[in-house]
Chains A and B, each alone.
Chain A
Amino acid sequence: MLKLINIELYKIFTQKRSYIGLAAILVIVLVAQGAMLWEGQAMHEFITKNLSDAFFMYGNLVNGYLISFLVLNFLWVHVPLLVVIVTGDIFSGEAQSGTFRLLLTRPVSRSGLVTAKFIAGIVYTFVLMIFFAIISLGISLIWFGKGDLMVIFNSVSILPEDDLLWRFILAYVYGFIGMTAIAALSMLFSAMANNSLGPILTTMAIIILFTMISSFNLSIFAAIQPFLITSYLDSWQLVFSFEVDTGQIIFDASVLLLHILVFYFITLVYFNRKDILT
């Protein structure tokens, strides 16, 4: 199994497209950081204008943690698209190039192959998230320094600097689970398709549609929102509540983990029954 995983990882990391996601994240984060370096103070004044009428405010609110927090908001919108570019091709790429026929003549079980590809896809997602964490949090802290974080949900919360690192780590871990769920969905579509583009576009279309439905606070969508994967992707933000609702976070993470397992088993069943014709 380990050898199979290594082979799958080798395939992923020798493809040029695997680095598109890393490059895109680097550019997105650097652009965001550059913009904040340029206009961070103005943004801070914009956000706190009303508060500053009543309060003197001392201290650095435009700091590395705030930038990382803002950049993290890109996570549930853009990073899924970067993940599926690679994971959406993991099965269908081989089907398209006809290598499955050759691969499956070897003494490799189909279940083993599916598992190895899933694990390789998860490892790729992990690498992407680690890279994202290092450049968003690491570089932001180096450039902007540390400080308290102002978060505005249904109230204004000032989270103290020494209470932030664990929140960010937890947010990235949650983000990793969310991205893995998206990766698993794309791998399911990938196993069903015989061309590379189809599963990538299908997953992207589903994410965009579901995100739209999840974001609208309309009663017509309220009933279906709990059943959409995208409704749980942004729950990493709950980690930044003044009083963290651990139960809600565990529930949301469990829903995502359940999605991963369901997608994996459907892929396993489907691929074991699939006629390899290409």
Chain B
Amino acid sequence: MLKIWLYLLILLPFVGFTQNDPDPYAIIDSLKTRVFSVHDYQVDIEIEVDVDFINMPVKHATMFYKQPDKIKFKSDEFIMLPKKGFDNQFQKILNEPYNAIYTGTEDISGKTQYVIKIIPMGKKPEIILATWWIDPDTYLITRTESNTRDQGTFVIDFKYDEPGIELPTEMTVSFEIEKISIPLKFIGKTAGMEIDKSKMDGKQTGRVYIRFSNYRINQSIDDQIFEEEEPE
């Protein structure tokens, strides 16, 4: 908590408190109104994992979401999804007390975005500082950067290509993945093969691209769907 206050002290002098600056809480309220208008949805997703030491073809699944925090994936294939980005971070932040600071605007893909720093004030929040880039026309999040307590920083970029739909059509999660120690000798040949240690050890940066299509929004998804087998 001390760190957060120190951060605030450092940050505040640079934040212009002029009357022309948009109110960050009002921006977040507009965002909430748009996002929370979606009570539930079902969408087809395509997952592409881009982590140096993981080879995986593009995978397909169906995702189900229902407010406030129910998420379910169904697929005939084995799928891997980054925990960061699919753990209801927005709800977690917005449902707890937080401080929001408007820090100006930045261009993303040639479009000006509001930049808002969010400091969760809840009890031991997992995310200690989040930065949200919000489209001033649509009030939808185009990028988030989250600094977590013990899992590094992750960035999520969102693309919205379906007019009238408040949900992204593409999401790119960039994250740090800690040292991995998979028992190499357990499966597979190692003799005669060069083990690229740099691919297996140390902090790696990974990206997961998720493309969404065929949204079915607010169609009252049955709760039973979420009660089936949980992820490992």
Question: CB of A195 within 8 A of chain B?
Answer: no
Complex CA gap A264/B78 in Å reads 46
Interface centre among B84, B188, B193, B232 (most CB of A within 10 A): B188
Contact, CB under 8 Å: A56 / B73? yes
Chain B: minimal CB distance from A55 (Å): 4
Contact, CB under 8 Å: B178 / A148? no
Chain A: minimal CB distance from B34 (Å): 26
Interface centre among B180, B192, B206 (most CB of A within 10 A): B192
Known contacts A59-B79, A61-B78, A237-B189; is-contact A157 B56 (Cβ 8 Å): yes
Complex CA gap A242/B49 in Å reads 14
Contact, CB under 8 Å: B55 / A156? yes
CB-nearest residue of chain A relative to B53?
A: A155
Q: Mark A42-62, 1 if CB is under 8 A from B, else 0.
A: 000111101111111111110
Interface centre among B181, B189, B194, B231 (most CB of A within 10 A): B189
Known contacts A51-B80, A155-B196; is-contact A58 B61 (Cβ 8 Å): yes
Residue tally, chain B, CB below 8 Å to A: 43
Chain A residues, CB < 8 A from B94: none
Question: CB of B6 within 8 A of chain A?
Answer: no
Question: CB of B3 within 8 A of chain A?
Answer: no
Complex CA gap A242/B196 in Å reads 15
Complex CA gap A53/B176 in Å reads 11
Chain B residues, CB < 8 A from A150: 78, 187
Find residues 69-89 in chain A having any chain B CB closer than 8 Å to their own CB: 69-70, 73
Find residues 199-258 in chain A having any chain B CB closer than 8 Å to their own CB: 214-215, 217, 225, 231, 234, 237-238, 240, 242-243
Pick the contact of B195 from A46, A59, A60, A154 — CB < 8 Å?
A154
Contact, CB under 8 Å: A55 / B78? no
Known contacts A56-B73, A157-B55, A231-B192; is-contact A47 B231 (Cβ 8 Å): no
Question: CB of A108 within 8 A of chain B?
Answer: no
Residue tally, chain A, CB below 8 Å to B: 44
Known contacts A152-B186, A217-B191; is-contact A51 B180 (Cβ 8 Å): yes
Contact, CB under 8 Å: A153 / B82? no
Question: CB of A147 within 8 A of chain B?
Answer: yes
Find residues 200-223 in chain B having any chain A CB closer than 8 Å to their own CB: 200, 206
Contact, CB under 8 Å: A148 / B73? no
Q: Mark B63-91, 1 if CB is under 8 A from A, else 0.
A: 00000000001010111111110100000
Chain A residues, CB < 8 A from B195: 154
Chain A: minimal CB distance from B170 (Å): 19
Chain B: minimal CB distance from A80 (Å): 16
Contact, CB under 8 Å: A153 / B189? yes
Chain A residues, CB < 8 A from B61: 58
CB-nearest residue of chain A relative to B81?
A: A56
Contact, CB under 8 Å: B231 / A58? yes
Known contacts A51-B182, A58-B79; is-contact A158 B191 (Cβ 8 Å): no
Chain B residues, CB < 8 A from A98: none
Contact, CB under 8 Å: A57 / B232? yes
Question: CB of B10 within 8 A of chain A?
Answer: no
> B: which residues have CB within 8 A of A?
52-57, 61, 73, 75, 77-84, 86, 175, 177-184, 186-196, 199-200, 206, 231-232
20 A-B pairs with CB atoms under 8 Å apart are: A47-B186, A47-B187, A50-B178, A53-B83, A54-B82, A54-B84, A56-B82, A56-B231, A57-B79, A57-B231, A58-B61, A150-B187, A152-B182, A152-B183, A152-B187, A153-B189, A154-B193, A214-B192, A237-B188, A238-B189
Contacts A45-B232, A217-B191 aside, 9 further interface pairs with beta carbons under 8 A come to A51-B80, A54-B82, A57-B80, A58-B80, A73-B187, A157-B55, A158-B56, A158-B80, A234-B189
